[in-house]
Chain A
């Protein structure tokens, strides 16, 4: 079963705009990760945030984590057409730390 759920399911923006997608999960976690999937490159790890962290940056990516709300957000700034892909959050539940649970994904389309 899916641990997480991304919101929105689909997002369409113009190149240069920012894209924000959210992830909610169900159980306490050790860390949360975001992955990108497109037909050309498969699933690629983007960024990891630990449960004791609240915000993390990597290039044009900014991730926040609110463990009290069991939610995370991924912000992509100055989007490019190449950012068009599906984005998934993945968590490892504290109870079963070696299993990773992926959400249902947000499909992002960046229009040139």
Chain B
């Protein structure tokens, strides 16, 4: 399967714990995006990378959130000191210049539940 993959698919944690999610984009897609989606809402942009450079971050991304893409391939999203309000689906997407970066290919998401 050459689609975007995300791990884990589900994560349950206690408030105050740190969690890390991984996203593997489609190979040769040099842009990678992170979104957060809560029930009944559309995805909200968090941040995006072009290769290994993190080019934009949403104001939604508090200091407790950090994302990396060290080698320009997979990316990780870490949430420190989780809060119940962090419970959501975290989506990763990738895109490529051949599609003018417009069409994003989404992964299945990681569902985070903070107890």
Q: Does A71 contact B (CB under 8 A)?
A: no
Q: Is the CB of B45 within 8 A of A99?
A: yes
CA of A90 to CA of B93, assembled, Å = 14
Q: How large is the interface on B (under 10, 10 to 19, 20 to 34, 35 or more residues)?
A: 20 to 34
CB-nearest residue of chain B to A33: B102
- Chain A nearest CB, measured from B67 CB (Å): 14
Q: Which residues of B contact A88 (CB under 8 A)?
A: 42-43
Q: Which residues of A contact B102 (CB under 8 A)?
A: 31, 33, 48, 92
Q: Is the CB of B106 within 8 A of A105?
A: no
Q: A43-B91, A88-B42, A105-B42 are in contact. Are A100 and B104 (CB under 8 A)?
A: yes
CA of A1 to CA of B36, assembled, Å = 11
- Chain A nearest CB, measured from B38 CB (Å): 11
By the criterion of a CB under 8 Å from any partner CB, how many residues of chain A are at the interface? 22
Q: Is the CB of A42 within 8 A of B55?
A: no
Q: Which residues of A contact B93 (CB under 8 A)?
A: 43
Q: Which residues of A contact B62 (CB under 8 A)?
A: none
Q: Which residues of B contact A101 (CB under 8 A)?
A: 45
Q: Does A96 contact B (CB under 8 A)?
A: yes
List which B22-46 residues lie within 8 A (CB) of chain A: 33, 35, 40-45
Q: Is the CB of B56 within 8 A of A2?
A: no
Q: Is the CB of B42 within 8 A of A44?
A: no
Q: Which residues of A contact B58 (CB under 8 A)?
A: 99
Q: Is the CB of B48 within 8 A of A44?
A: no
Q: Is the CB of A99 within 8 A of B48?
A: yes
CA of A33 to CA of B114, assembled, Å = 32
Can you sample 18 A-B contacts with CB below 8 Å? A2-B41, A2-B44, A33-B102, A33-B103, A45-B104, A45-B105, A98-B48, A98-B101, A99-B45, A99-B48, A100-B33, A101-B45, A102-B43, A102-B44, A103-B42, A104-B41, A104-B42, A105-B42
7 A-B pairs with the lowest CB-CB distances in the bound complex, closest first:
A102-B42, A43-B106, A45-B103, A102-B43, A88-B42, A99-B45, A42-B108
